């Protein structure tokens, strides 16, 4: 997953990958209980959650804020 996430960071610079082992506070705040988890957040509001491995297309749609990620 990391190569896909890093590739998407090139076009989505305002998105931040977080290692929940290092940021347990964020994992708790956004109720992340497993990895990988992808949480789309706007302000303090969770917009979308994807659990488990994802395709680059699904991640791109999440990062772009598109509806109907599935």
Q: Is residue 21 assigned to a domain?
A: yes
Note whether residue 10 is domain-resident: yes
70 located within any domain: no
- Is there a domain that residue 56 lies in? yes
Would 15 be classed as within a structural domain?
yes
Residue 24: the pLDDT is 93
Least confident of 24-28, 34-38, 39-43, 54-58: 39-43
Number of domains forming the structure of the chain:
1
3-state secondary structure of 61: helix
DSSP 12: -
pLDDT bucket at 22, cuts 50 / 70 / 90: very high
Handedness of CA 57, 59, 63, 65 (dihedral sign): positive
What is the rounded distance in angstroms from the CA atom of residue 56 to the CA atom of residue 23? 24
Domain extent, residue 23, equals 2-64
User: What average pLDDT does range 53-61 have in this prediction?
Assistant: 86
**pTM for this entry:** 0.67
Residues 30, 33: Cα–Cα separation, whole Å: 9
pLDDT at 67: 55
């Amino acid at each position: 997953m990391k190569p896909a996430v890093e590739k998407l960071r090139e076009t989505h610079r305002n998105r931040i990958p977080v290692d929940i082992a290092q940021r347990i506070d964020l994992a708790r705040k956004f109720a992340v209980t497993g990895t990988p988890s992808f949480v789309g957040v706007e302000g303090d509001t969770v917009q979308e959650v994807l659990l488990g491995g994802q395709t680059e297309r699904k991640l791109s749609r999440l990062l772009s804020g598109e509806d109907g990620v599935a």
